[in-house]
Structure 1
Amino acid sequence: MSFLKNSIDLYIHSSVHVALAVVSLSALTFFEFKIPLDYDLLFFIFFGTITGYNFVKYAGIAKLKHSSLTRNLRIIQVFSLLCFLAGAYFLIIQSISVITIAIILGLFTLFYAVPLLGSKRNLRSLSGIKIFVIALSWAGATVLLPLVKSIDSLTSDIFIELLQRFLLVVVLMLPFEVRDLKYDIPSLSTLPQQIGVEKTKILGYILLLIILVLEFFQEEFVVINFLSLVFILILTGGFLLKTKVAQGPYFSSFWVESVPVFWLMILLLLRNFV
């Protein structure tokens, strides 16, 4: 049992799970806009997500002496280096437009972890914006990167998709914000710190409703896409309902973060059976 738990913890802490979530959202964009899957791009997004997340989480720890690190952290360090090399390979074979957007998103990740130029603070420490920086990065990576090679201009459907994706990631972050309420310093001004847990959850429900309403403004309304979206909004709302400060160890980091994976699975099932 301890081996299984350690394996799950390593899987989560090494950011493989969150990378699968980001790749799932990216694949959804390909399917929803009827574009053939670009596997090289999906591999870049997968390895790039692992590299970025592990850099943010473990940049400070990496300064410690190697001998002082736990076995899992040493494994994650080596794994992150390999993912960085793999991500670099899949990036250099992309188009200039993809590389440009990837660099911009990479700078967001960099300044999320390290101080901004001429400042002692990073984006993560700026009051009240952490959750929105993450949502913006996810929306850009999972909507713009898959579409940039296949579009000539930004259409209203793409703007709606970007906004929906941004809002969904904000909602998915709320259980993490509530979980971290007992750890976050007051200066972070997270939503639960500012308005409380219950009002944070109510805000989440409102955002889910906005996401649903936005779907009706798509120029091309696809029933299968709508049904999969409704299912995932209900699932996300259920997780939000169960959110509390005292959470199980895997409630947010595994189950909530699995929502994009569930969404992709539901869409594929509907495409095959409806």
Structure 2
Amino acid sequence: MVTSELENSKIETVSTSNNMALNNGLSQNNVQSQSDDKHFSYFSLYIVFQIIGLLLIFAVGFWIFVFRGGVGFSESKIIFNWHPLLMTIGFVYLFANSILHYRTFRHKNKRDLKNQHAIIHGCIIILILLAGWASFASHLYNNPPIPNLYTLHSWLGVVTILMFLSQFIGGFMSFLYPGIAVQYREAIMPYHVFFGVFNFALVIATSLLGLCEKLIFSLKDEYRTFPNEGLFGNFIGLLFMVFGGLVVFMVTKPEYKRHSKPEDSMLLSQGSE
């Protein structure tokens, strides 16, 4: 009887262990399945995001070359056309890609992601400076010269650029420059993320305002007659809106967030983040 009870106890123990292992396996499979579904959902949206972003650049280029005379350095109107083209490439498309960089390449080493994030922002700054030069130069070389910084678009543009530069400097000092205490990095991060998204929203708003301003200044009374350029310009505005909304959705959805890895903590402790 004692032997039988011991054998039954062993059988129950083995059965319980097998059930626990089976349940753990099913649980891990469910977690993995949910993770795969989230990744598939994100990258499906990422493909749409890239298509809309490239279409936006193409649409702005088409508008400039077909309706606005192209780009160049021969006269003020042609010089100005560099401004919307470079701003769209740098301040809209590249900025959006830099915001989503961590979520898109979530399996990469975080140190590499940080360096790439900073490099993209450096390229954006170069394009912003060239675009700003195009705007000021076109006003200066116009006959008669056009005053600078008198429109709401220009005011918002200055605020948006200064905020971006502040984000870049603050991010570099906080997350790339060694020697900052871990608790300060962790405290700063939520604000860095929030102001980054807010900055991008300002970029979209400023772009829409500048596009509308350019159409009104260029077409004047003809704008109300539904000309081809006016309709195409409105279409570009809708692309800006859809692109901006998609980026904000992707960067604020918790399920798409990059999860921390063990090496991330090592980077923090070593002052390499």
Q: Which interval holds the TM-score relative to the shorter structure?
A: 0.3 to 0.5
| Structure having the larger proportion of residues in helix | 2
* Higher Rg: 2
> What TM-score comes out, normalization by structure 1 length?
0.36
> What TM-score comes out, normalization by structure 2 length?
0.36
